[in-house]
């Protein structure tokens, strides 16, 4: 089946049907994996979905690097008579002790600057989970920050909340979704989950890149009360504890929702449905297949070893494994269309040029590049909306994604795709999510949560109820030696394996000669974006900030394969 054709134009219909029947026997849905019950996943791993030798080699090298670091660390600690069963689970006495674990693994740069308020703010727009921030349209009554609190923060004495809202300078993050997480326990040690919120503002007449966003206030619970203080940068150690609680919430939201649910598990049913309902010579399947490589296998591995009972999520994260799984399942019920990147940015009020926002700026450019590539490619085969409507394989694909794949709000017309424009947007979303979005939430991990004091996977004391806090109180909320080591190892493994590169399809992959000039233009566009991002990063470095280089096209894999 080498002739690329839409089904309504193909005279080899019986051959196409046989091809689909064969794939439908190989690719089946399963909803009752114990670790992710109710989630649409593949029933086993078809032979063609197992990883290539190069991927296995890369993972092996990373695992070796982790084992080497562990071995050297344990040897040194034993030599110092510090490595005992009790000692491994004690709480640290000083922050510098966390550095000791990094013997051969690189120390994340954030370790030397994470306590800086400017760095804390920048992580909202250029960190591990830079999708949480939203513009403030009105002050939330459950987060009663007023002008007296606002003006007490250095740099805002002559500002007002009303003026900041009017000028689109006020932003917030809210982890309300984490309210459904129940506090966990591992090895008889209690872990705590938090659902905090925080307010940030751009100073009036800012002149320095570094001060584009400043933290104003943090509330460690959803509802204000006498036992829920509003913390500001004036509150010393209590402020640092409040920032840590934001970071713990950010870690859990990132790993469970932004990462696992919104990339890995969102794409899984599309992989299955594409194999089952689009023939091998369907132009859409040809385009999408490289962007689905490795996804079924890595997701199968995740449900087997990450979200299983006693697995990494159960051990490290704030909540019980049952409530964490339920949060993942709930997130998969959100609207596909609302999560389209341009729609999400618009809904959260983030298309404001005043906000220095590296994730948005880089992602927008690559989204547009992918959209132009997808548009040119699909225009070769779909000449108008009627061609889309007449494509009965595409119709079956969409129907299966809604019914068996459990993808919510997919399509532009009551669960159908009836326009070429919507098809282009949807396909762009699939490629963007499999490459760009996954890169943004995956390859950032070692640099941010690879240093546990910056982004602990769980808290180990309840949220503070007063502003009278000591350094020891702050240390007590952080993970023990053993838990810290497990976190470092997990995020390093996930962050270190790069396999394939966006836009670099296998040699002579596209047989249709008409695709070649479009493909060449796509590669040239990505090269141009790379140069622009490098220039923006020079500006950041000149201001003493970590460059945001995670969305350099050369660092973005084609698919979710780790």
Quick check: 29 pLDDT over 80?
Answer: yes
Model confidence band, residue 514 (pLDDT cutoffs 50, 70, 90): very high
Mean pLDDT to the nearest integer, 286-296? 98
- CB neighbourhood size of 127 (10 A): 28
CA-CA distance, 422 to 411, in Å (whole number)? 7
Q: Dump pLDDT digits (tens) for 235-271.
A: 999 999 999 999 999 999 999 999 999 999 999 999 9
The one-character DSSP state at 545 is -
User: How high is the mean pLDDT of the chain?
Assistant: 93
Secondary structure of residue 230 in the 3-state scheme: strand
pLDDT of the residue at 387: 98
- CB neighbourhood size of 416 (10 A): 17
Q: Which residues pair with 230 in a beta bridge?
A: 219
Quick check: 85 pLDDT over 50?
Answer: no
Q: How many Cα atoms within 13 Å fall on the side-chain side of residue 140?
A: 20
pLDDT of the residue at 239: 98
pLDDT of the residue at 208: 59
Quick check: 83 pLDDT over 50?
Answer: no
Q: Which two tokens stand for residue 395?
A: 């119709």
Q: Which residues pair with 200 in a beta bridge?
A: 171, 215
Q: Dump pLDDT digits (tens) for 160-173.
A: 999 999 999 999 99
Q: Are 145 and 230 in contact (CB under 8 A)?
A: yes
| Residue 353 exposed, middle or buried by CB count within 10 Å (0-12, 13-18, 19+) | exposed
String of DSSP letters for 261-309: IIIIIHHHHHHHHHHHHS-TT-HHHHHHGGGGTTHHHHHHHHHHHTSST
Strands 41-42 and 185-186, how do they pair? unpaired
Q: Which contacts (CB < 8 Å, 24+ apart) does range 345-348 have?
A: 348/133, 348/134, 348/135
Q: Which two tokens stand for residue 106?
A: 């690189």
Q: Dump pLDDT digits (tens) for 294-318.
A: 999 999 999 999 999 999 999 999 9
Distances (CA, A) of 191 to 183, 323, 457, 460: 6, 13, 10, 5
Q: Dump pLDDT digits (tens) for 422-478.
A: 999 999 999 999 999 999 999 999 999 999 999 999 999 999 999 999 999 999 999
pLDDT of the residue at 96: 74
Q: Are 301 and 43 in contact (CB under 8 A)?
A: no
pLDDT of the residue at 343: 95
Distances (CA, A) of 437 to 286, 442, 507: 21, 9, 25
Mean pLDDT to the nearest integer, 133-148? 94
Which residues neighbour 317 within 8 Å (Cβ) at sequence distance 6 or greater? 184, 191, 251, 252, 255, 256, 324, 457, 458
Mean pLDDT to the nearest integer, 477-481? 91
Quick check: 77 pLDDT over 80?
Answer: no
CA-CA distance, 71 to 106, in Å (whole number)? 15
Q: Which two tokens stand for residue 410?
A: 């997919």
Helix-then-strand count for the chain, H and E: 22, 9
Using H for helix, E for strand and C for coil, what is the string for 473-523? HHHHCCCCHHHHHHHHHHHHHHHHCCCCCCCCCCCCCCCCCCHHHHHHHHH
Mean pLDDT to the nearest integer, 377-399? 98
CA-CA distance, 93 to 76, in Å (whole number)? 19
pLDDT of the residue at 80: 66
- CB neighbourhood size of 126 (10 A): 28
């Amino acid at each position: 089946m080498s002739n690329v054709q839409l089904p309504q134009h193909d005279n080899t219909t019986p051959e196409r049907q046989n091809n689909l029947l064969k794939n439908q026997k190989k690719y089946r849905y399963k909803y009752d994996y114990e670790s992710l019950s109710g989630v649409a996943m593949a029933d086993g791993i078809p032979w063609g979905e197992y990883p290539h030798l190069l991927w296995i080699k890369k993972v092996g090298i990373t695992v070796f690097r982790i084992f080497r670091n562990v071995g050297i660390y344990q040897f040194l600690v034993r030599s110092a008579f510090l490595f005992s069963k009790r000692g491994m689970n004690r709480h640290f006495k000083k922050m510098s002790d966390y550095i000791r674990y990094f013997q051969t693994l690189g120390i994340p740069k954030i370790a030397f600057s994470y306590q800086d308020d400017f760095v804390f703010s920048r992580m909202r727009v250029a960190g591990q989970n830079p999708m949480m921030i939203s513009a403030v349209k009105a002050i939330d009554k459950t987060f009663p920050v007023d002008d007296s609190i606002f003006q007490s923060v250095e740099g805002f004495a002559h500002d007002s909340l009303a003026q900041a809202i009017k000028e689109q300078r006020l932003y917030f993050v809210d982890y309300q979704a984490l309210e459904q997480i129940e506090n966990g326990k591992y090895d008889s040690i209690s872990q705590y989950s938090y659902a905090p919120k925080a307010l940030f503002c751009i100073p009036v007449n800012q002149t320095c890149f570094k001060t584009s966003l400043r933290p104003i206030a943090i509330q460690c619970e959803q509802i204000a009360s006498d036992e829920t203080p509003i913390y500001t940068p004036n509150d010393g150690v209590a402020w640092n504890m409040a920032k840590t609680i934001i970071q713990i919430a950010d870690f859990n939201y990132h790993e469970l929702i932004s990462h696992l649910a919104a990339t890995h598990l969102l794409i899984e049913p599309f992989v299955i449905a594409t194999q089952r309902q689009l023939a091998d010579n369907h132009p859409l399947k040809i385009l999408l297949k490289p962007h689905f490589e490795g996804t079924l296998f890595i997701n199968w591995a995740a449900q087997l070893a990450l979200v299983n009972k006693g697995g990494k999520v159960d051990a490290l994260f704030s909540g019980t494994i049952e409530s964490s799984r339920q949060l993942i399942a709930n997130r998969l019920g959100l609207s596909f269309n609302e999560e389209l990147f341009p729609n999400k940015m618009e809904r959260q009020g983030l298309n404001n040029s005043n906000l220095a926002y590296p994730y948005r700026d880089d992602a927008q450019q690559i989204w547009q590049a992918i959209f132009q590539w997808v548009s040119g490619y699909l225009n070769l085969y779909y000449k108008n909306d009627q061609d889309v409507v007449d494509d009965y394989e595409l119709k079956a694909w969409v129907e299966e994604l809604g019914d068996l794949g459990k993808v919510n709000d997919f399509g532009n017309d009551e669960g159908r795709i009836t326009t070429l424009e919507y098809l282009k947007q949807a396909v762009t979303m699939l490629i963007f999510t499999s490459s760009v979005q996954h890169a943004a939430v995956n390859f950032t991990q070692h640099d941010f949560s690879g240093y546990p004091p910056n982004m602990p996977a769980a808290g180990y004391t309840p949220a503070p109820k007063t502003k009278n806090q000591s350094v020891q109180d702050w240390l007590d909320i952080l993970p023990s030696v053993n838990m810290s080591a497990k976190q470092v190892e997990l995020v390093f493994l996930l962050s270190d394996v790069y396999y394939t590169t966006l836009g670099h399809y296998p040699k002579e992959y596209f047989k249709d000669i008409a695709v070649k000039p479009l493909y060449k233009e796509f590669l040239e566009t990505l090269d141009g974006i790379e140069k622009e991002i490098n220039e923006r990063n020079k500006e950041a470095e000149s201001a003493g900030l970590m460059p945001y280089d995670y969305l350099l096209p050369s660092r973005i894999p084609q698919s979710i394969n780790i």
